Amino acid sequence: MISGEVRELDNLVSRTPEDMAEEGVTVRVRHEVMDVDPAAKTVSVKNLETGETFTEPYDALVLATGASASKPPLPGVDLAGVHVLRNLEDGAAVLKTIRGGAKEAVIIGGSYIGLELAEALVKARLKVRVVEQAPVLLPTFGPSAADTALDVLKENGVEAHLDAEVTALEGEGRVQKVVTSAGEFPADLVMIAVGAKPNSALAEGLGLGLGPSGTVMTDEQLRTSLADVYAVGDLTATHHVVSGKPVWIPLGDTANKQGRVLGKILGGGDDRFRGIAGTAVTKVFDRAFATTGLTLEAAKDAGFDAESKEIEATDHAGYYPDHRDLSVTLVWENLSGRLLGAQLVGYGDAVKRVDVISALLFQRGTLQDLADLDLAYAPPFSNAWDPLLVAANVALGR
Amino acid sequence: MISGEVRELDNLVSRTPEDMAEEGVTVRVRHEVMDVDPAAKTVSVKNLETGETFTEPYDALVLATGASASKPPLPGVDLAGVHVLRNLEDGAAVLKTIRGGAKEAVIIGGSYIGLELAEALVKARLKVRVVEQAPVLLPTFGPSAADTALDVLKENGVEAHLDAEVTALEGEGRVQKVVTSAGEFPADLVMIAVGAKPNSALAEGLGLGLGPSGTVMTDEQLRTSLADVYAVGDLTATHHVVSGKPVWIPLGDTANKQGRVLGKILGGGDDRFRGIAGTAVTKVFDRAFATTGLTLEAAKDAGFDAESKEIEATDHAGYYPDHRDLSVTLVWENLSGRLLGAQLVGYGDAVKRVDVISALLFQRGTLQDLADLDLAYAPPFSNAWDPLLVAANVALGR
């Protein structure tokens, strides 16, 4: 929407309250649950339009309060022209600033939301700078992605400042300047893209068991520590199939899947949410980055005796006119050869190959299991040795 | 090369005898092994250029004689302008016929070589007809591929004649006409694309155990029934990980993998070739078709109590400008839910998702295992529910 590739905000709405009503589900927007009485099994609700308060009973209570964009308490953070991007209203506000004539943008944060925004704002014809506190971009996508992303930003006229701490946003009424440890940058649009925090106030009030980053902990059937209270989506921690530990990687596909699992359970069926592999993909200008499982650094942090290797290949046959570079990094456990993760850097759908590794992570597959696979080959789609197989062979040292 | 997308035949050569010599491997082209003496462990070799014959000793003998294009004994099959397409010489001969002014082509055979040829010949500006004996195109890619392929041919001005038997090729010196049960078609280029047959004469002479279609049978370490005689590539039958039976699906990636496994073994290492899932992919004009494991029909033929379901989705987010249709058919075993196969119809790399199913087939995964996967999601790459997950949910009946 911000880049101009999607024409209407409404195109981004999957379902309206009216759509839900047609399915027999009452959705009350602009209503806030002020309190939960788990003994009486009721919630007290405030109609934010009228101020009226009322009580609703429940058999099962599902907390799906999501997460909010983090907004660090910087001086000037509430100036006009300073935005986050989490929901449609945020998007509409950013568009208003752009249409109001913004020319120079500073994006605070170099993870994928920050970099996707960099692309969108360049397409919207702004001068763009990215300021990142860490020494690398896209940390969960591995070192090769970090280097490539830096090149891609440069190729597209985006200034990136790493190891740079923002100390203040300055301006008269509207933001005009971003003050950082790497210098001061003019800005009439500032995007804060430094991650999210779970909306856990209600859960905390209920005394629910909390997980990493203040998330709500659930079991495989999405039950919280309180009887008949469930939680799903960005609010919750999930089981990581590689590390075996609870993690918070709030993504839309995970939220969707949890909702479906819980819907089945509440409808009287049986199902389980079996966790995540931390699979993610992002497009930054013409380049694509994908990750699943753990990077080498994350694997070592998680206590694995891990090793990794990167190979460079092409996504389609090397003699085929449309082939492009594709690099694959595999991360595995020494001795056992168990796959722990993979990161891909390439173009377009070619990096969706990451899903093959994700499938093996769920099955606790090894490098040998990967090397054995029969992957689809024809010159417009792959080399005879798919890059994943090349990576497995190289990792196996043969 | 035939379509004009690859400029030089040499671009299609992976390695020359000279490249191999640099690696310390002597390659003798235009030499034929006339006889093998397994007791003495020698082969007698004829130099086809000089006529000279000599004997070479071996410790290990590897049969890698490949396969040849089938050429049914039709009247007129040896007329000028009638070609098969298996090796570079065949390709050069086809190009010569085209450059000689051929205008109308008939392709005998509607499997993927036939249909890829249809695209190439249309791009080379010939009028193209495809004649197929069976009632469907692309049988190993499932019924949806068959229907779509028929539409794609029509969209691109290619006439397809199904259930049509070729009875003769006619012409004065050069082919001019193809006579079929569906009518007579003018043709100054005829492509015979009705499959291949293994080059098993030497193996038969040695009395080796033969598999389906006259292939050589090997074990996981590529040993034949004769001591110190191995076989790899298109000559051999392989273990199908779904049916558990030996099959002959001669493809370049399988041959490559077998060569590498055997190389390691002969070099004193340990390795195994664990079989194939029958994974394949093909591009016909702008459409892409992929298959792995068994179609519903093949699963029933193999004795499975099988079921299948097809879903229609889009490869990228439905609101994203470049999204295109993608259909996924899953085939599974009733009761156990074990995945038996999948067929995808779509565009470009999107159908490489088939590799995720191939990975699960090697792991004997179930529909539930597929539904549990954490697949990469971002709007330029997928919907929040990847089409594979939609297919799993629908197959699970939820």
Mean pLDDT taken over chain B? 96
**Backbone dihedral region for residue A13 (phi beyond 0: left; psi -120 to 50: alpha; all else: beta):** beta
Nearest by CB: A350 against B349, B382, B386: B349
Burial A17-42 (b: 16+ CB within 10 A, else e): eeeeeeeeeeeeeebeeeebebeebe
Rounded Cα gap, residues B57 and A321, in angstroms? 44
CB contact under 8 A, A389 and B283: no
Selected residue of A353, A374, A386 to mutate for chain B interface (largest B Cβ count, 10 A): A374
Please name the residues in contact with A318: beta carbons below 8 A apart, sequence gap of 6 or more. Answer: A383
CA distance A61 to B269: 59
Please write the tens of the pLDDT for every residue from A107-116. 999 999 999 9
Q: Phi/psi of residue B300, each to 5°?
A: -65, -40
B360, pLDDT greater than 70: yes
Cα gap A376→A394, rounded to integer Å: 20
The residue among B344, B345, B348, B343 whose CA lies nearest residue B322 is: B348
pLDDT over 90 at B321, yes or no: no
d(CA A35, CA A215): 19
Taking residue B25's Cβ as centre, other Cβ atoms within 10 Å add up to 10
Q: Which residues pair with A195 in a beta bridge?
A: none
Q: Which whole number is the average pLDDT over A259-272?
A: 96
**Mean pLDDT value across residues B106-123:** 97
Pairing of strands A53-57, B196-198: unpaired
- The proportion of chain B whose per-residue pLDDT surpasses 70, expressed as a percent, equals 100
| pLDDT (average), residues A368-378 | 97
List, in sequence order, every residue forming a beta bridge with A326; answer none if it has no partner: A313
* Cβ <8 Å between A374 and B362: yes
Shortest CA gap A280–chain B (Å):
5
What is the pLDDT at residue A7? Answer: 87
Tell me the chain A residues in contact with residue B393 when contact means C-beta distances shorter than 8 Å: 260
Q: Both tokens of residue B391?
A: 């297919």
> Who's near A37: CB < 8 A, 6+ residues apart?
A43, A44
- Banded pLDDT at A209 (limits 50, 70, 90): confident
Question: Is the separation of the CB atoms in A210 and A163 below 8 Å?
Answer: no
User: Which residues are B129's β-sheet partners?
Assistant: B106, B159
Residue A118 burial (CB < 10 Å; 0-12/13-18/19+)?
buried
pTM of the model: 0.96
The runs of H, that is alpha helices, within chain A are 17-22, 88-99, 112-123, 142-155, 201-205, 252-266, 296-301, 354-362, 367-371, 387-395
Query: Which of the residues B355, B367, B389 would you substitute to probe the A interface, choosing the one with the greatest number of A C-beta atoms within 10 Å?
Result: B355
Query: If residue B198 lies in a helix (H) or strand (E), which one and from where to where?
Result: strand B196-198
- Provide mean pLDDT across the span A155-174: 97
Is A385:A394 a contact under the CB 8 Å cutoff? no
Instruction: Judge whether B138 and B289 are in contact, CB under 8 Å.
Output: yes
Q: What are A322's strand-pairing partners?
A: none
Min CA distance, B282 vs chain A (Å)?
Answer: 6
- CB spacing of B373 vs A362 below 8 angstroms: yes
Predicted confidence at residue A398, as pLDDT, reads: 64
User: Greater confidence, B390 or B11?
Assistant: B390
Residues of B within 8 A of A372 (CB-CB) are 274, 362
Closest CA–CA distance from residue B221 to any residue of chain A (Å): 13
Residues in chain B closer than 8 A to A362 (CB atoms): 369, 372-374
Quote the CA–CA distance of B142 and B161 in Å, as a whole number.
18
Q: Which DSSP helix (H) or strand (E) runs through A314?
A: strand A306-314
ipTM of the complex: 0.96
Residue A10: Cβ within 10 Å count: 10
Helix (H) or strand (E) holding B177, with range, is strand B177-180
Nearest to A359 among B320, B350, B360 (CB): B360
Q: How far apart are CA A171 and CA A104, in angstroms?
A: 14
pLDDT of residue A116: 97
Q: Report whether pLDDT(A203) > 90.
A: yes
Contact A378 B282 (CB under 8 A): yes
Contacts of B362 in chain A (CB under 8 A): 369, 372-374
**DSSP letters along B21-85, please?**
HHTT----SSEEEEEEETTTTEEEEEETTT--EEEEE-SSEEE---EEE-----TTTTSBTEE--
Cα of A133 to nearest chain B Cα, Å: 25
Q: Is the dihedral of CA B66, B70, B76, B82 positive or negative?
A: negative
Q: Which chain A residues have a beta carbon less than 8 Å from that of B262? A: none
- Name every residue whose Cβ is closer than 8 Å to that of residue B100 and which is 6 or more positions away in sequence: none
User: Cβ contacts (< 8 Å) between A377 and chain B: which residues?
Assistant: 251-253, 279-281
Six token digits for residue B113? 């070589």
Closest CA to B109 of B78, B80, B74, B66: B74
| Neighbour order of strands in the sheet with A127-131 | A82-83, A189-192, A104-108, A127-131, A159-161
In the 8-state DSSP scheme, what is residue A215?
A: P
pLDDT at B7: 87
Contact A374 B292 (CB under 8 A): yes
B105 within 8 A of B126, measured Cβ to Cβ? yes
Q: How far apart are the first and last CA of chain A?
A: 47
- Residue appearing with tokens 């694959």: A328
**Band of the pLDDT at B398, cuts 50, 70, 90?**
low
Q: Which residues of B353-385 are buried (b: 16+ CB within 10 A; e: fewer)?
A: bbbbbbbbbbbebbbebbbbbbbbbbbbbbbbb
Q: Residue B82 in contact with residue B96, Cβ under 8 Å?
A: no
Residue B378 has its nearest CB partner, among A269, A277, A283, at: A283
Looking at the complex, report in whole angstroms how far the Cα of residue B253 sits from the nearest Cα belonging to chain A. 5
Find the residue in A nearest to B270 (Cα).
Answer: A398
CA B225 to CA B235: how far, in whole Å? Answer: 14
Give the residue carrying structure tokens 């993504």: A251
C-alpha distances out from residue B171 to A213, B72, B129, B174, B175, Å: 79, 18, 18, 5, 4
Residue A41: half-sphere exposure toward Cβ, Cα within 13 Å: 11
The model's pLDDT over A130-142, given as tens digits with 9 standing for 90+, comes to 999 999 999 999 9
- Summary mean pLDDT of chain A: 96
Q: What residues are paired with A343 via a beta bridge?
A: A291, A329
Please give the biggest Cα pair distance in chain A: 71
pLDDT per residue as tens digits for the range B177-213: 999 999 999 999 999 999 999 999 999 999 998 999 9
Task: Point out the residue among A256, A277, A292 whose CB comes nearest to the CB of B384.
Answer: A256
Instruction: Report the gap between the CA of A11 and the closest CA in chain B (Å).
Output: 6
- Considering only CB atoms, B281 lies closest to which of A279, A290, A377, namely A377
| pLDDT single digits (tens) B87-110 | 999 999 999 999 999 999 999 999
* pLDDT for residue B239: 96
Q: Which residue has the tokens 């109308």?
A: B104
Q: Is the pLDDT of residue A83 over 90?
A: yes
Do B324 and B180 touch, CB atoms closer than 8 A?
no
Q: What is residue B215's DSSP assignment?
A: P
Share of chain A residues as helix, strand and coil, in percent rounded to the nearest 5: 30, 30, 45
